[in-house]
Protein backbone atom coordinates (compact mmCIF):
# COMPACT_ATOMS: atom_id res chain seq x y z
CA UNK A 1 0.00 0.00 0.00
CA UNK A 2 1.40 3.38 -0.94
CA UNK A 3 1.87 5.95 1.78
CA UNK A 4 -1.28 8.05 1.96
CA UNK A 5 -1.43 11.74 2.77
CA UNK A 6 -4.33 13.55 4.30
CA UNK A 7 -6.31 15.76 1.96
CA UNK A 8 -8.09 19.04 2.59
CA UNK A 9 -11.64 19.02 1.25
CA UNK A 10 -13.26 22.30 0.32
CA UNK A 11 -17.04 22.61 0.47
CA UNK A 12 -18.89 22.72 -2.86
CA UNK A 13 -18.54 26.06 -4.55
CA UNK A 14 -22.24 26.20 -5.38
CA UNK A 15 -24.44 24.31 -2.92
CA UNK A 16 -27.85 23.19 -3.98
CA UNK A 17 -30.63 25.70 -3.45
CA UNK A 18 -32.78 25.15 -0.38
CA UNK A 19 -36.17 23.56 -1.20
CA UNK A 20 -39.34 25.60 -0.79
CA UNK A 21 -41.22 25.51 2.54
CA UNK A 22 -43.88 23.04 1.36
CA UNK A 23 -41.21 20.60 0.15
CA UNK A 24 -39.36 20.98 3.47
CA UNK A 25 -42.53 20.19 5.43
CA UNK A 26 -43.24 17.10 3.31
CA UNK A 27 -39.67 15.93 3.90
CA UNK A 28 -40.18 16.26 7.67
CA UNK A 29 -43.46 14.37 7.55
CA UNK A 30 -41.77 11.56 5.60
CA UNK A 31 -38.62 11.72 7.81
CA UNK A 32 -36.73 11.78 4.52
CA UNK A 33 -33.08 10.95 5.27
CA UNK A 34 -32.06 11.98 1.76
CA UNK A 35 -32.89 15.58 2.65
CA UNK A 36 -30.63 15.68 5.71
CA UNK A 37 -28.14 18.47 5.16
CA UNK A 38 -30.30 20.30 2.63
CA UNK A 39 -31.96 22.44 5.36
CA UNK A 40 -33.04 22.35 9.01
CA UNK A 41 -36.46 22.76 10.60
CA UNK A 42 -36.82 25.19 13.51
CA UNK A 43 -39.58 24.73 16.11
CA UNK A 44 -40.72 28.00 17.66
CA UNK A 45 -42.39 26.37 20.70
CA UNK A 46 -39.28 24.49 21.84
CA UNK A 47 -36.53 26.65 20.41
CA UNK A 48 -34.71 23.71 18.78
CA UNK A 49 -33.73 22.87 15.21
CA UNK A 50 -33.75 19.39 13.68
CA UNK A 51 -32.75 17.58 10.54
CA UNK A 52 -35.58 16.26 8.33
CA UNK A 53 -35.17 12.62 9.41
CA UNK A 54 -35.52 13.40 13.12
CA UNK A 55 -37.53 10.66 14.84
CA UNK A 56 -39.13 13.03 17.36
CA UNK A 57 -42.86 13.74 17.30
CA UNK A 58 -43.76 16.27 14.61
CA UNK A 59 -44.75 19.77 15.75
CA UNK A 60 -47.66 21.64 14.25
CA UNK A 61 -46.95 23.15 10.85
CA UNK A 62 -47.55 26.72 12.03
CA UNK A 63 -44.80 26.30 14.65
CA UNK A 64 -42.11 25.44 12.11
CA UNK A 65 -39.83 27.55 9.98
CA UNK A 66 -37.09 26.28 7.69
CA UNK A 67 -33.56 27.61 7.35
CA UNK A 68 -30.72 26.55 5.03
CA UNK A 69 -28.27 25.24 7.64
CA UNK A 70 -27.47 24.90 11.35
CA UNK A 71 -25.45 28.14 11.36
CA UNK A 72 -28.51 30.11 10.23
CA UNK A 73 -30.63 28.39 12.87
CA UNK A 74 -28.17 29.21 15.65
CA UNK A 75 -27.99 32.82 14.45
CA UNK A 76 -31.78 32.97 14.77
CA UNK A 77 -31.58 31.84 18.40
CA UNK A 78 -32.37 28.11 18.05
CA UNK A 79 -30.34 25.28 19.60
CA UNK A 80 -29.54 21.84 18.17
CA UNK A 81 -31.85 18.88 18.84
CA UNK A 82 -30.12 16.38 21.14
CA UNK A 83 -32.01 13.49 19.56
CA UNK A 84 -31.15 13.84 15.86
CA UNK A 85 -27.92 15.91 16.29
CA UNK A 86 -28.33 17.99 13.12
CA UNK A 87 -24.84 19.52 13.37
CA UNK A 88 -23.26 16.12 12.68
CA UNK A 89 -24.60 15.98 9.12
CA UNK A 90 -21.89 18.35 7.92
CA UNK A 91 -19.17 16.29 9.57
CA UNK A 92 -20.48 13.06 8.00
CA UNK A 93 -20.64 14.63 4.55
CA UNK A 94 -17.12 16.05 4.85
CA UNK A 95 -15.85 12.63 5.97
CA UNK A 96 -17.40 10.97 2.92
CA UNK A 97 -15.97 13.69 0.65
CA UNK A 98 -12.54 13.13 2.21
CA UNK A 99 -12.85 9.37 1.70
CA UNK A 100 -13.83 9.82 -1.95
CA UNK A 101 -10.86 12.13 -2.50
CA UNK A 102 -8.57 9.58 -0.89
CA UNK A 103 -9.90 6.74 -3.06
CA UNK A 104 -9.60 8.84 -6.22
CA UNK A 105 -6.01 9.92 -5.41
CA UNK A 106 -4.72 6.46 -4.46
CA UNK A 107 -2.94 4.33 -7.05
CA UNK A 108 -4.37 1.21 -5.37
CA UNK A 109 -7.75 0.93 -3.68
CA UNK A 110 -7.25 1.77 0.02
CA UNK A 111 -8.37 -0.71 2.66
CA UNK A 112 -11.47 0.17 4.70
CA UNK A 113 -9.38 0.43 7.89
CA UNK A 114 -7.08 2.97 6.23
CA UNK A 115 -9.99 5.03 4.91
CA UNK A 116 -11.76 5.04 8.28
CA UNK A 117 -8.57 6.04 10.09
CA UNK A 118 -8.02 8.83 7.56
CA UNK A 119 -11.44 10.38 8.29
CA UNK A 120 -11.53 9.58 12.01
CA UNK A 121 -14.34 7.01 12.19
CA UNK A 122 -14.53 3.39 13.31
CA UNK A 123 -14.36 1.11 10.22
CA UNK A 124 -17.73 -0.64 10.71
CA UNK A 125 -19.49 2.69 11.37
CA UNK A 126 -17.91 4.43 8.39
CA UNK A 127 -18.75 1.52 6.09
CA UNK A 128 -22.47 2.05 6.91
CA UNK A 129 -22.13 5.84 6.69
CA UNK A 130 -20.43 5.76 3.27
CA UNK A 131 -23.08 3.45 1.84
CA UNK A 132 -25.89 5.56 3.30
CA UNK A 133 -24.46 8.71 1.77
CA UNK A 134 -23.43 7.38 -1.67
CA UNK A 135 -25.46 4.20 -2.18
CA UNK A 136 -22.21 2.20 -2.55
CA UNK A 137 -19.66 0.67 -0.22
CA UNK A 138 -16.12 2.14 -0.31
CA UNK A 139 -14.89 -1.00 -2.07
CA UNK A 140 -17.66 -0.81 -4.70
CA UNK A 141 -16.91 2.87 -5.26
CA UNK A 142 -13.22 2.09 -5.78
CA UNK A 143 -14.02 -0.75 -8.22
CA UNK A 144 -16.35 1.49 -10.22
CA UNK A 145 -13.76 4.25 -10.36
CA UNK A 146 -11.03 1.89 -11.53
CA UNK A 147 -13.33 0.39 -14.16
CA UNK A 148 -14.10 3.89 -15.43
CA UNK A 149 -10.37 4.56 -15.71
CA UNK A 150 -10.03 1.32 -17.63
CA UNK A 151 -12.78 2.43 -20.01
CA UNK A 152 -10.97 5.72 -20.64
CA UNK A 153 -7.62 3.97 -21.13
CA UNK A 154 -9.14 1.52 -23.61
CA UNK A 155 -10.32 4.44 -25.72
CA UNK A 156 -6.71 5.56 -26.22
CA UNK A 157 -4.25 4.04 -28.72
CA UNK A 158 -2.22 1.15 -27.40
CA UNK A 159 -2.65 -2.42 -26.22
CA UNK A 160 -5.29 -3.77 -23.88
CA UNK A 161 -2.57 -4.87 -21.46
CA UNK A 162 -1.16 -1.35 -21.29
CA UNK A 163 -4.63 0.05 -20.62
CA UNK A 164 -5.15 -2.43 -17.78
CA UNK A 165 -1.99 -1.38 -15.96
CA UNK A 166 -2.56 2.31 -16.71
CA UNK A 167 -5.96 2.05 -15.01
CA UNK A 168 -4.28 0.83 -11.82
CA UNK A 169 -4.77 -2.92 -11.98
CA UNK A 170 -1.98 -5.16 -10.73
CA UNK A 171 -3.08 -8.11 -12.84
CA UNK A 172 -5.25 -8.63 -15.96
CA UNK A 173 -7.45 -11.15 -14.11
CA UNK A 174 -8.87 -8.47 -11.79
CA UNK A 175 -9.41 -6.12 -14.72
CA UNK A 176 -11.36 -8.76 -16.64
CA UNK A 177 -13.51 -9.55 -13.60
CA UNK A 178 -14.34 -5.85 -13.09
CA UNK A 179 -14.96 -5.34 -16.81
CA UNK A 180 -17.58 -8.09 -16.87
CA UNK A 181 -19.49 -6.24 -14.16
CA UNK A 182 -18.98 -2.60 -15.17
CA UNK A 183 -18.52 -2.77 -18.94
CA UNK A 184 -20.67 -5.82 -19.66
CA UNK A 185 -17.89 -7.38 -21.77
CA UNK A 186 -14.17 -8.10 -21.72
CA UNK A 187 -11.70 -5.20 -22.10
CA UNK A 188 -10.76 -6.50 -25.55
CA UNK A 189 -14.39 -6.51 -26.69
CA UNK A 190 -15.00 -3.03 -25.27
CA UNK A 191 -11.95 -1.62 -27.08
CA UNK A 192 -13.22 -3.18 -30.30
CA UNK A 193 -16.70 -1.67 -30.20
CA UNK A 194 -18.42 -4.64 -28.57
CA UNK A 195 -16.93 -7.31 -30.83
CA UNK A 196 -17.90 -10.78 -29.63
CA UNK A 197 -20.81 -9.55 -27.46
CA UNK A 198 -24.27 -10.76 -28.41
CA UNK A 199 -27.11 -8.26 -28.17
CA UNK A 200 -30.68 -9.18 -29.06
CA UNK A 201 -33.29 -6.56 -29.83
CA UNK A 202 -36.76 -5.78 -31.02
CA UNK A 203 -39.15 -2.85 -31.18
CA UNK A 204 -42.50 -3.13 -29.47
CA UNK A 205 -45.56 -0.91 -29.49
CA UNK A 206 -46.71 0.99 -26.42
CA UNK A 207 -49.36 3.58 -25.71
CA UNK A 208 -46.60 6.22 -25.96
CA UNK A 209 -45.18 4.94 -29.22
CA UNK A 210 -42.73 2.26 -30.36
CA UNK A 211 -39.94 1.30 -27.99
CA UNK A 212 -36.55 -0.30 -28.62
CA UNK A 213 -35.80 -3.14 -26.19
CA UNK A 214 -32.31 -4.68 -26.29
CA UNK A 215 -30.47 -7.04 -23.98
CA UNK A 216 -27.23 -8.94 -23.54
CA UNK A 217 -27.15 -12.36 -21.94
CA UNK A 218 -27.03 -10.60 -18.57
CA UNK A 219 -30.01 -8.28 -18.89
CA UNK A 220 -31.54 -5.23 -20.52
CA UNK A 221 -28.96 -2.82 -21.92
CA UNK A 222 -31.18 -0.35 -23.82
CA UNK A 223 -34.81 0.76 -23.54
CA UNK A 224 -35.72 3.83 -25.55
CA UNK A 225 -38.49 5.50 -27.51
CA UNK A 226 -38.23 6.01 -31.26
CA UNK A 227 -35.01 4.08 -31.85
CA UNK A 228 -34.31 0.92 -33.82
CA UNK A 229 -31.56 -1.35 -35.05
CA UNK A 230 -29.59 1.47 -36.69
CA UNK A 231 -29.17 3.36 -33.42
CA UNK A 232 -28.24 0.17 -31.59
CA UNK A 233 -25.54 -0.64 -34.13
CA UNK A 234 -24.15 2.87 -33.78
CA UNK A 235 -23.72 2.29 -30.05
CA UNK A 236 -22.07 -1.12 -30.53
CA UNK A 237 -20.67 -1.13 -34.07
CA UNK A 238 -18.92 -4.51 -33.77
CA UNK A 239 -21.32 -6.40 -31.49
CA UNK A 240 -23.18 -9.46 -32.73
CA UNK A 241 -26.68 -8.00 -33.01
CA UNK A 242 -29.58 -10.38 -33.60
CA UNK A 243 -33.39 -10.30 -33.51
CA UNK A 244 -35.13 -11.20 -30.28
CA UNK A 245 -35.26 -14.74 -28.96
CA UNK A 246 -38.16 -16.02 -26.77
CA UNK A 247 -36.51 -14.74 -23.58
CA UNK A 248 -36.25 -11.19 -24.94
CA UNK A 249 -39.77 -11.38 -26.38
CA UNK A 250 -41.07 -12.03 -22.87
CA UNK A 251 -39.01 -9.18 -21.41
CA UNK A 252 -40.17 -6.81 -24.15
CA UNK A 253 -43.82 -7.46 -23.26
CA UNK A 254 -43.08 -6.59 -19.64
CA UNK A 255 -41.19 -3.45 -20.69
CA UNK A 256 -44.19 -2.27 -22.71
CA UNK A 257 -46.40 -2.90 -19.67
CA UNK A 258 -44.21 -0.51 -17.64
CA UNK A 259 -45.75 2.41 -19.52
CA UNK A 260 -49.10 1.62 -17.91
CA UNK A 261 -47.94 -0.04 -14.67
CA UNK A 262 -44.50 0.92 -13.26
CA UNK A 263 -44.51 -2.13 -10.96
CA UNK A 264 -44.65 -4.55 -13.90
CA UNK A 265 -40.87 -4.67 -14.34
CA UNK A 266 -39.59 -4.43 -10.79
CA UNK A 267 -37.50 -7.60 -11.14
CA UNK A 268 -36.37 -7.26 -14.76
CA UNK A 269 -32.62 -7.97 -15.11
CA UNK A 270 -30.45 -5.01 -16.09
CA UNK A 271 -27.04 -4.80 -17.73
CA UNK A 272 -26.16 -1.10 -17.56
CA UNK A 273 -22.70 0.23 -16.81
CA UNK A 274 -21.57 3.57 -15.49
CA UNK A 275 -19.33 5.37 -13.08
CA UNK A 276 -19.80 4.95 -9.35
CA UNK A 277 -21.57 8.33 -9.30
CA UNK A 278 -23.92 7.34 -12.14
CA UNK A 279 -24.75 4.03 -10.50
CA UNK A 280 -25.62 5.81 -7.25
CA UNK A 281 -27.85 8.30 -9.10
CA UNK A 282 -29.63 5.52 -10.98
CA UNK A 283 -30.21 3.61 -7.74
CA UNK A 284 -31.70 6.77 -6.21
CA UNK A 285 -34.00 7.15 -9.22
CA UNK A 286 -35.30 3.61 -8.75
CA UNK A 287 -36.09 4.51 -5.15
CA UNK A 288 -38.60 7.23 -6.13
CA UNK A 289 -42.11 5.79 -5.67
CA UNK A 290 -44.43 5.94 -8.71
CA UNK A 291 -46.59 9.04 -8.61
CA UNK A 292 -43.92 11.09 -6.82
CA UNK A 293 -41.15 13.35 -8.11
CA UNK A 294 -37.82 14.61 -6.80
CA UNK A 295 -35.73 17.58 -7.80
CA UNK A 296 -32.23 17.23 -9.19
CA UNK A 297 -30.99 18.75 -5.93
CA UNK A 298 -32.86 16.17 -3.88
CA UNK A 299 -31.39 13.33 -5.94
CA UNK A 300 -27.88 14.75 -5.49
CA UNK A 301 -28.48 15.09 -1.74
CA UNK A 302 -29.83 11.53 -1.60
CA UNK A 303 -26.42 10.13 -2.57
CA UNK A 304 -24.49 12.46 -0.31
CA UNK A 305 -23.36 14.93 -3.00
CA UNK A 306 -25.65 17.96 -2.47
CA UNK A 307 -23.36 20.22 -4.51
CA UNK A 308 -23.46 17.95 -7.57
CA UNK A 309 -26.82 19.06 -8.92
CA UNK A 310 -25.60 19.59 -12.49
CA UNK A 311 -23.78 16.26 -12.47
CA UNK A 312 -26.95 14.55 -11.21
CA UNK A 313 -28.82 15.98 -14.18
CA UNK A 314 -26.15 14.69 -16.55
CA UNK A 315 -26.35 11.22 -15.00
CA UNK A 316 -30.12 11.25 -15.52
CA UNK A 317 -29.53 12.10 -19.17
CA UNK A 318 -27.08 9.19 -19.49
CA UNK A 319 -29.73 6.69 -18.40
CA UNK A 320 -30.05 3.88 -20.97
CA UNK A 321 -33.20 2.25 -19.57
CA UNK A 322 -36.21 4.50 -20.06
CA UNK A 323 -39.08 3.79 -17.64
CA UNK A 324 -37.20 1.00 -15.82
CA UNK A 325 -34.79 3.57 -14.36
CA UNK A 326 -37.39 6.32 -13.94
CA UNK A 327 -35.50 9.51 -14.76
CA UNK A 328 -38.88 10.97 -15.79
CA UNK A 329 -39.63 11.39 -12.06
CA UNK A 330 -36.97 14.09 -11.67
CA UNK A 331 -38.03 17.72 -12.10
CA UNK A 332 -36.57 21.15 -11.45
CA UNK A 333 -36.69 22.63 -7.94
CA UNK A 334 -39.26 25.19 -9.12
CA UNK A 335 -41.57 22.43 -10.35
CA UNK A 336 -40.62 22.75 -14.02
CA UNK A 337 -40.33 19.63 -16.10
CA UNK A 338 -36.61 19.94 -16.84
CA UNK A 339 -35.27 17.80 -19.66
CA UNK A 340 -36.09 14.31 -20.93
CA UNK A 341 -34.17 12.46 -23.63
CA UNK A 342 -37.34 11.17 -25.29
CA UNK A 343 -39.38 14.38 -25.21
CA UNK A 344 -41.25 16.37 -22.59
CA UNK A 345 -44.64 15.20 -23.85
CA UNK A 346 -43.76 11.61 -22.91
CA UNK A 347 -42.42 12.74 -19.55
CA UNK A 348 -45.61 14.64 -18.77
CA UNK A 349 -47.76 11.71 -19.88
CA UNK A 350 -45.83 9.24 -17.70
CA UNK A 351 -46.09 11.47 -14.63
CA UNK A 352 -49.79 12.10 -15.17
CA UNK A 353 -50.53 8.36 -15.44
CA UNK A 354 -48.55 7.53 -12.34
CA UNK A 355 -50.27 10.25 -10.28
CA UNK A 356 -53.71 8.99 -11.39
CA UNK A 357 -52.84 5.49 -10.23
- Catalytic annotation, residues: 50, 327
Query: For the chain, how far is it from start to end, CA to CA, in angstroms?
Result: 54
Closest CA to 338 of 353, 351, 325: 351
CA 115 to chain centre: 22
Rg of the chain in Å (alpha carbons): 22
Q: How far is CA 327 from CA 208, 312, 324, in A?
A: 16, 11, 9
Question: CB-side exposure of 201: number of CA atoms within 13 Å?
Answer: 23
Judge contact between 218 and 269, C-beta under 8 A. yes
**Centroid of chain to Cα 193:** 26
CA 139 to chain centre: 16
| All residues at 6 or more sequence positions from 275 whose CB lies less than 8 Å from its CB, including other chains | 144, 145, 148
Amino acid sequence: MNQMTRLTISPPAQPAAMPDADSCWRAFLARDRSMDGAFVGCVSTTGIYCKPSCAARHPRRENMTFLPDPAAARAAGFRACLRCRPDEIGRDRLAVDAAIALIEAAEEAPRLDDIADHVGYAPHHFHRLFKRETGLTPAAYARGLRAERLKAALAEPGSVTSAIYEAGYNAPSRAYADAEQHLGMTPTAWKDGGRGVTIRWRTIGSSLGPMLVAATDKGLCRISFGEGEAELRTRFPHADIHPANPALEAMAQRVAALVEDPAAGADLPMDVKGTAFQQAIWAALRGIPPGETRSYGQIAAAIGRPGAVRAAGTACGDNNLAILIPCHRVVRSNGGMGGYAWGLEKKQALLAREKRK
